[in-house]
Amino acid sequence: MTQLFSLISARMEALDLGLDPKEFFNGSIKLFEEFMDIFKDKEQAEVASISQAELESFKSTMLNIAVTGETGARKSSFINALRGLTAEDDGAAPTGVTEMTMKPTVYPYPNHPNVRLWDLPGIGAPDFQPTTYLKQVNFKCYDFFVIIASERFKCNHTALAREIERMGKRFYFVRSKVDEDLRNEERDHPRTFSQESVLQRLRMDCRKHLQNARMCNPEIFLLSSCEFTKYDAPGLVKTLQDDIQGLQRLAFLLSLPNLSAEIIEEKKAALKKRIWLISLASALVNVVPIPRLSVACDISILLGSMIAFYKYFGLDDISLANLARQTGKPIAELKAVIISPEAKEINRDVVIKLLLKTGLPGLTANLPVLGPMLTAGISFLTTYFMLLRFLSEVAEDAERPKENSCLR
């Protein structure tokens, strides 16, 4: 089924939006009929059930990421940074110089609660036993581990990594507080200071200690939770994306804050591949005729998807309120640069207006009575291109509050 969905997605993306409207319309209807044939002998109701099940499957996809390390390694700060929060934001992990975590504590992503970061108790005890520790923190419930050190990696870090590897799960070494190392080095050696040289030395020192502990070719990510878009943080995020598969990968990507223009573009590309699925479900599930349109669809599916797009791109009220607090900008000033309607303004009437803007309904105005297949095809294509346009607008809007806040 995955290959089938990929095939349909590729065919939809290959449509030439520059064709003559009538030629484009006729070609699109033909394409709809072709990929309905791909489902072979299945009735429309069964095709609808398949598309709906795929959408529901994503909603229930879980991803659990464990974060561990010694006291003072800034595990909580890392968790907040990866979720786009500061310590003062609602739902943030508490930070402090003393160990704040006595048992595994979960921190869901604000806009995707099924993606969860777990702050695990520290591993600094002299009598630390990795096997006992992993049992105590319920090892099996995590998909992978991030092991953080604020100085050099010690025997507890490597012992834990080996046990995680032995039990068949992935781990990633993170060296935190890099910003402090750089400031100290620049203060002590102002004339000879070189950021690249300091980072290279830190990386080599970490690798040497891990190799001395018999860790083969360890990959180390240097980062600062206070400056999360710098150093190796983008590389860590990219590595995690590459290592996670299927719907978990999509869930992780869409849960990420807008750390860069590249992430915004990746979100847009990933959602673009799923728009046909949303449109198919809307055109075939609980359809209701829409006044002034040769379209019958389930507007609730479209509404839910459009509101979700806002959240994925950080344009909902909660995300914008957090950004306003972090940057000191009034939330009204951030909203002023957003062109698309606010999430709370999206309703049935707005969706109908957006459907009319696609221009496809006008091409069917003079057609005779439409059969079920043609009606479904027109509904599918109208909703598909409406969502495609809406996605592009929202993705563009995601850049504007960042630019206005000068948050980099």
Q: How far apart are CA 136 and CA 224, in angstroms?
A: 29
Q: How far apart are CA 377 and CA 379, in angstroms?
A: 5
Query: Does a structural domain hold residue 48?
Result: no
The tens digit of pLDDT for each residue in 47-92 reads 777 778 888 888 899 999 999 988 778 899 999 999 988 888 888 8
Smallest CA-to-CA distance from 352 within 287, 306, 299, 276 is with 299
Length of the chain: 408
Is 371 found in the same domain as 388?
A: yes
Picking from 255, 289, 305, the residue at the C-terminal end of a domain is 255
Is the dihedral angle over the CA atoms 75, 81, 82, 83 positive or is it negative? positive
* 373-380: average pLDDT: 70
Say which CATH number the domain at 218 has: 3.40.50.300
Q: How confident is the model at residue 117 (pLDDT cuts 50, 70, 90)?
A: very high
The tens digit of pLDDT for each residue in 244-278 reads 988 999 999 999 988 888 999 999 999 998 888 88
Is 8 found in the same domain as 77?
A: no
pLDDT of residue 408: 43
Query: Does a structural domain hold residue 50?
Result: no
Query: Does a structural domain hold residue 52?
Result: no
- Between 123 and 342, the more confident residue is 123
Answer for the pair 274, 261: CB distance below 8 angstroms, yes or no. Answer: no
Beta-bridged to residue 297, according to DSSP, are: 288
Smallest CA-to-CA distance from 91 within 256, 259, 322 is with 322
Phi, psi angles (nearest 5°) of residue 63: -140, 120
Mean of the per-residue pLDDT values of the chain: 81
Query: Does a structural domain hold residue 51?
Result: no
- Within 10 A of 368 (CB to CB), how many other CB atoms are there? 6
Is 271 found in the same domain as 217?
A: no
pLDDT of residue 281: 81
What distances in angstroms separate CA 268 from CA 5, 27, 110, 253, one per listed residue? 18, 25, 19, 10
Residue 326, token pair as written in the block: 């972090």
Query: Does a structural domain hold residue 58?
Result: no
Is 245 found in the same domain as 204?
A: yes
Picking from 255, 273, 304, the residue at the C-terminal end of a domain is 255
The tens digit of pLDDT for each residue in 146-166 reads 999 888 788 889 889 888 988
Does residue 135 register a pLDDT over 50? yes
Amino acid, single-letter form, for residue 237? V
Structural domain total, the chain: 2
Query: Does a structural domain hold residue 78?
Result: yes
Is 342 found in the same domain as 312?
A: yes
Answer for the pair 249, 112: CB distance below 8 angstroms, yes or no. Answer: no
Picking from 255, 276, 307, the residue at the C-terminal end of a domain is 255
Residue 89, token pair as written in the block: 């934001």
Does residue 401 register a pLDDT over 70? no
Share of the chain above pLDDT 70, in %: 78
Query: Does a structural domain hold residue 49?
Result: no
The tens digit of pLDDT for each residue in 176-226 reads 998 888 999 889 988 888 889 989 999 888 888 888 878 777 889 999 888
Residue 48, token pair as written in the block: 């609808």
Q: What is the 3-state secondary structure (H, E, C) of the chain?
A: CHHHHHHHHHHHHCCCCCCCHHHHHHHHHHHHHHHHHHCCCCCHHHHHHHHHHHHHHHHCCCEEEEEEECCCCCHHHHHHHHCCCCCCCCCCCCCCCCCCCCCCEEEEECCEEEEEEEECCCCCCCCCCHHHHHHHCCHHHCCEEEEEECCCCCHHHHHHHHHHHHCCCEEEEEECCHHHHHHHHHHHCCCCCCHHHHHHHHHHHHHHHHHHCCCCCCCEEECCHHHCCCCCHHHHHHHHHHHCCHHHHHHHHHHCCCCCHHHHHHHHHHHHCCHHHHHHHHHHCCCEECCCCCCEECHHHHHHHHHHHHHHCCCCHHHHHHHHHHHCCCHHHHHCCCCCCCHHHCCHHHHHHHHHHCCHHHHCCCCCCCCHHHHHHHHHHHHHHHHHHHHHHHHHHHHHHHHHHCCC
Is 286 found in the same domain as 359?
A: yes
Is 241 found in the same domain as 124?
A: yes
Q: How far apart are CA 337 and CA 400, in angstroms?
A: 6
Query: Does a structural domain hold residue 326?
Result: yes
Does residue 119 register a pLDDT over 90? yes
pLDDT of residue 118: 95
Is the dihedral angle over the CA atoms 168, 169, 170, 175 positive or is it negative? negative
Is 237 found in the same domain as 266?
A: no
Does residue 407 register a pLDDT over 50? no
Is the dihedral angle over the CA atoms 240, 241, 245, 247 positive or is it negative? positive
Which position has the token pair 């909603």? 59
pLDDT of residue 153: 83
Is 273 found in the same domain as 185?
A: no
Is 249 found in the same domain as 108?
A: yes
Does residue 173 register a pLDDT over 50? yes
Is 276 found in the same domain as 183?
A: no
Q: How confident is the model at residue 28 (pLDDT cuts 50, 70, 90)?
A: low
pLDDT of residue 205: 87
Is 333 found in the same domain as 233?
A: no
Residues of the domain holding 81:
63-255
